[in-house]
A and B are shown apart, each in its own frame.
Chain A
Amino acid sequence: MTTLTRRTFGLATTAAGLALAAPSVLHAQTTARLVVVGGGFGGASAARYARIAFPRIDVTLIEPKTSFVTCPYGNLLLAGERTLPQITHSYDGLQARGVRLVHDWAETIDASAKTVRLRNGQTIPYDKLILSPGIAIRWNAIEGYGEAAAEAFPHAWIPGTGAQTALLRRQLEALPDGGVVGFAIPPNPFRCPPGPYERISMVASYLKAHKPRAKILALDAKDAFSKQGLFQDAWNELYPGMIEWVPLNKDGKVTKVDVQEKVFETELGTRHKIDVGNVIPPQSAAQIAIDAGLTNDTGWVPVNPLTFEATRARDIHVIGDANIGQPMPKSGYIANSTSKVAVAAAVAALEGRPAPAPTVYFNTCYSHVGPEYGISVVGIFRPGETAFVETANAGGVSPRGPLAQQREQRRLEALHADAWYGAITKDAFS
């Protein structure tokens, strides 16, 4: 593990592309305390960046797990193209950079006392809190889909230790050829907009190789989805006749599941018998954000688009999937890129400087849809007065067209996706 020298510090900050004020307004009496809750893409990136850009700040990361399994590339486990260790990342890199790691659950936040209380009863004081808690599943928003039902119909949408994804993989392995794999897909907003469709593709890739008579029934609570044209082109070319996608207006919204009968029931009362079921349930910000009173009636946390400070509490900056970032997607990429802006704004406030000037928020979401077949969507966003604004005529999606014409493009994008995964996990965990 490399140690931080003045030289690497300079390089790192240049690479981050953020102007730094001269470190002239250090508070002499104590070291300012930045506490980060949540060690996913948002929190890990925030802690890492804070150590690199502001080594004078004391950084604590509260995260119950001792390693992190990424959502990105989790779908490739279902196709057997990656293994769990390949998408598991330790916090050793952050520790080596001087991040103090606390492996416990952050249970509650006291915004007036400025403390975080841990499950073990200890409280940790902060001057600025970076809250990156991720999502919570809205259990029973689909009738019959409580926590116990997730052992029969895995969601595999919060990786945890990877158990849910492993369960879904085992179920696919046990599926008889000719069986039906059902997907229940939630309305917007939810974590990883193209994720369900990449997952459908990866499951189809596995089925095509091992159970070619199996079918996929994708029941969707939406009428349109991310990279839809590209996904559907790929499904027609790679997996003809295997995937049926049912939109909201064709009775696609799953409102009830029955784990005993193995049935997904939709709004208009159609009962679909399935053999393996993946329920991607409706979601909200994680419970700690709700308990702290940071969420509004959408279930997500409104934030200042320039600083990511919660509009409902001072000195708590909320990043990642938990905030209301629309039209930005709830993605690891956005969590990573906005974490740096939130940290820079938090430290500026601590040191009595104005927030950094508005910057640009980038997002790229790659999806694997088959072997050597990658597609992507790019979005460029800016902070507006009260919300985020997508920059028109920037970004876009991969070119459409038959595989015969686009083969090289698809192959390259699959490689770009792999490179992206390597880069972002380094930028968060190394």
Chain B
Amino acid sequence: MTTPRIRVPSSVKAGEAFEIRTLIDHPMETGLRHQTGQAVARRMITRFEAQADGEVLFTADLRNGTSANPYIGFFARLVRTTTITFLWREEDGREYRATQRVTVT
């Protein structure tokens, strides 16, 4: 249950700011929570990256204070048609990805 979701316009005007919204289903377990006397195993996304044709566009480091199912939104500007790749990385290395091609007009 870690389907990432992204909202990115499929076309934008060159140089004009546009909004990107992302969401991923994830428990963001800190390892500190107890359930029926047992600690729930830690499982945490600690890194979020957006890359524009492989170049870093936006990054965020996430820590224990981040809620489950983290929602991340930001603005970007593009000058040419670009494929944006989003990745969510758990601290043990597991990754979830989504991509969207944005046509610049």
Chain A residues near B (Cβ < 8 Å): 223, 248-251, 253, 266-270
Indicate if B104 sits at the interface (CB-CB under 8 A). no
Nearest first, the 5 A-B pairs at minimum CB distance are A268-B7, A251-B7, A268-B21, A249-B5, A249-B98
Say whether B100 contacts A251, CB under 8 Å.
Answer: no
A268-B23 contact, Cβ under 8 Å, with A249-B98, A250-B100: yes
**Beta-carbon contact of B5 and A248 below 8 Å:** yes
How far apart are B20's CB and chain A's nearest CB, in angstroms? Answer: 10
A251 and B6 within 8 A (CB):
yes
* A21 to B3 alpha-carbon distance, docked (Å): 51
Selected A-B contacts with CB under 8 Å, 16 pairs: A223-B3, A248-B3, A248-B5, A249-B3, A249-B4, A249-B6, A250-B7, A250-B100, A251-B7, A251-B21, A253-B5, A266-B7, A268-B21, A268-B22, A269-B21, A270-B7
Least distance between A103 CB and chain B CB atoms (Å): 44
Chain A residues whose CB sits within 8 angstroms of the CB of B98 once the complex forms: 249
Mark contacts of B4-31 with chain A using CB atoms, 8 A cut-off: 1 yes-contact digit, 0 otherwise.
1111000000000000011100000000
CA distance A223 to B6 in the complex (A): 12
Distance between Cα atoms of A267 and B22 in the complex (Å): 10
Q: Which residue of A lies closest to B73 (CB)?
A: A268
Secondary structure at the B interface, as helix, strand, loop or mixed, is strand
B82 to chain A, nearest CB (A): 16
> What are the residues of chain B within 8 A of A249 when measuring CB–CB?
3-6, 98
Chain B interface size, as a band, is 10 to 19
**Nearest CB to that of B86 among chain A residues?**
A249
* CA of A52 to CA of B6, assembled, Å: 55
Residues of the A chain whose Cβ atoms lie less than 8 Å from the Cβ of B21: 251, 268-269
Nearest A-chain residue to B9, judged by Cβ: A270
A188 CB → nearest B CB, Å: 13
CA distance A248 to B98 in the complex (A): 11
Smallest Cβ-Cβ distance to A250: which chain B residue: B6
From A269, which residue of chain B is reached at the shortest CB distance? B21
Q: Determine how close the nearest CB of chain A comes to the CB of B71; give it in whole angstroms.
A: 8
For the complex formed, measure the closest distance between the CB of B53 and the CB atoms of chain A, giving whole angstroms: 19
**Nearest Cβ distance between residue A251 and chain B, in whole angstroms?**
4
Q: Which residues of A contact B6 (CB under 8 A)?
A: 249-251, 268
Which residues of B9-67 are within 8 A (CB) of A? Answer: 21-23
Q: B88 → chain A, closest Cβ, in Å?
A: 12
**In whole angstroms, what is the CA distance A270 to B22 when docked?**
12
A250 CA to B3 CA, complexed, in Å: 10
- Cα(A248)–Cα(B21), bound, Å: 13
Find the A residue at minimum CB distance from B8: A250
- Closest chain B residue, CB of each to CB of A251: B7
B100 surroundings in chain A (CB, below 8 A): 250
Cα-based distance from A249 to B100 in the complex (angstroms) = 10
- A268 neighbours in B (Cβ, 8 Å): 5-7, 21-23, 71
A268 to B100, CA, bound (A): 15
Please indicate the chain A residues that have their CB under 8 angstroms from the CB of B23 in the complex.
Answer: 267-268
B73 to chain A, nearest CB (A): 8
- Residues on A with C-beta less than 8 A from B7 are 250-251, 266, 268-270
State the CA gap A249–B71 with chains docked (Å). Answer: 13
Q: Which residues of B contact A248 (CB under 8 A)?
A: 3, 5
Q: With contacts A268-B21, A268-B71 known, what are 10 further pairs, Cβ within 8 A?
A: A223-B3, A248-B3, A249-B5, A249-B98, A250-B6, A250-B7, A251-B6, A251-B7, A267-B5, A268-B5
Of listed B3, B7, B98, B100, residue having the most chain A CB within 10 A: B7
A-chain residues with CB within 8 Å of residue B4 when the two chains form the complex: 249
1/0 per residue, CB under 8 A from A, across B77-105: the answer is 00000000000000000000010100000
CB-defined contacts of A251 to chain B, threshold 8 Å: 5-7, 21
CB distance from A156 to the nearest CB of B (A): 27
Residues of B within 8 A of A267 (CB): 5, 23
- Taking the nearest CB of chain B, how far is it from the CB of A222, in angstroms? 9
A252 to chain B minimum Cβ distance, whole angstroms, is 8
Most chain B beta-carbon neighbours within 10 Å: one of A248, A250, A253, A268: A268
Task: Tell me the bound Cα distance from A249 to B88 in angstroms.
Answer: 14
Q: How far is it, in angstroms, between the C-alpha of A251 and the C-alpha of B4 when the chains are bound?
A: 9
A residues less than 8 Å from B3 (CB atoms): 223, 248-249
Closest Cβ neighbor of B24 among chain A residues: A249
Which A residues are CB-close (under 8 A) to B71?
268
Q: In whole Å, how far is A278's beta carbon from the nearest beta carbon of chain B?
A: 22
Chain A residues with CB under 8 Å of B5's CB are: 248-251, 253, 267-268
Closest beta carbon of chain A to B81's beta carbon, Å: 18
With most chain A CB atoms within 10 A of its CB, the pick from B4, B5, B22, B71 is B5
B1 to chain A, nearest CB (A): 12
Cα–Cα, bound, A251→B10 (Å): 12
Bound together, the chains give a CA A253 to CA B6 distance in angstroms of 11
A267 to B24, CA, bound (A): 11
Point out the residues of chain A lying under 8 angstroms from B22, CB to CB: 268
A109–B80 Cα gap in the complex (Å)? 65
